[in-house]
Amino acid sequence: MKRGLLIIISGPSGVGKGTVRKYFEANKDLNLAYSTSMTTRKPREGEIDGKDYFFVTREQFIQSIQKGELLEYAEFVGNYYGTPLKEVNRLRDEGKNVLLEIEVQGAKQVQEKCPDAISIFIIPPSMEELENRIRGRKSEPEEIVQQRLAKAEKELKLVNQYKYIVCNDDPKLAADLIQTIIYRNIEIEENK
Ligand SMILES: Nc1nc2c(ncn2[C@@H]2O[C@H](COP(=O)(O)OP(=O)(O)O)[C@@H](O)[C@H]2O)c(=O)[nH]1
Ligand SMILES: Nc1ncnc2c1ncn2[C@@H]1O[C@H](COP(=O)(O)OP(=O)(O)O)[C@@H](O)[C@H]1O
């Protein structure tokens, strides 16, 4: 069996990564598996441990780093986020195309370790719209919103690090574009 693809989806906080993913992740033809990350961030209302994230303490996270259990990790606005390596390998070995939804520093580490990874960056139609979306979600206090917006300005300068850039104006259109990118890469891999 062919090993599954590794697909990185990045983009600033609030751009709509999770929203867009919901439109395509159930598409069986894409044979996707979402990699659940580990984080020290506190759960938001409705988030489920083990599904949205593995919520851990700083000590537990640092232990995972030291034991070499993470494919990549980064600190983002005061919290650690990282990708458990074992699960990614297990899923890819099963032939699943594994989806990582990670920020730019982590994406860079994955690109260095796995040059075949397919990298997609989602951009907002404008900074005003990004601000509206982060605020509209009402998931963070004002101070954190400000920090995430400042971070977004820096992250948006790194679009050249990615192979594909998708604007999330209409979420269904953005999802269709991402599906097309994945389909084409599956086809390329099959013909290798
Ligand atoms: N490097 C890295 N970044 C991650 C990981 N999981 C999530 N992130 C990113 O961390 C940032 C903050 O995530 P979160 O607090 O859930 O906010 P949200 O993405 O705006 O909903 C986002 O850019 C995520 O894509 C991970 O495992 N590694
Ligand atoms: N294309 C879009 N147009 C308008 N609002 C959107 C769009 N995509 C996402 N949103 C909204 O923006 C907010 C942030 O989206 P979310 O998926 O949580 O972003 P991310 O996962 O990138 O942090 C949510 O309230 C979501 O409903």
Domain holding 72: CATH number? 3.40.50.300
Tell me if 21 sits within 8 A of 113, measured CB to CB: no
Tell me if 32 sits within 8 A of 96, measured CB to CB: yes
Q: Is residue 1 part of a domain?
A: no
Average pLDDT over all residues of the chain: 96
Closest approach atom of ligand 2 to CA 169: 1
Range of the domain at 51: 6-190
Pocket of ligand 2 (CB under 6 A): 11, 13-19, 133, 136-137, 168-171
CA 171 / ligand 2 centre spacing (Å):
8
pLDDT digits (tens, 9 = 90+) for 74-90: 999 999 999 999 999 99
DSSP codes joined into one string, 113-182: H-TT-EEEEEE-S-HHHHHHHHHHHT-S-HHHHHHHHHHHHHHGGGGGGSSEEEE-SSHHHHHHHHHHHH
Among 118, 78, 103, residue whose Cα is nearest residue 15: 103
Q: Is residue 80 part of a domain?
A: yes
Closest approach atom of ligand 2 to CA 101: 21
For the chain, the domain total comes to: 1
Residue 1 has pLDDT above 90, yes or no: no
Closest approach atom of ligand 1 to CA 35: 27
Instruction: Tell me the ipTM for this assembly.
Output: 0.97
Mutation probe of ligand 1 site: the residue of 7, 19, 39, 144 with most atoms within 8 A of C-beta: 39
Q: Which protein residue's CA is at the shortest distance from atom 14 of ligand 2?
A: 14
Q: Structure pTM?
A: 0.97
Q: Is residue 93 part of a domain?
A: yes
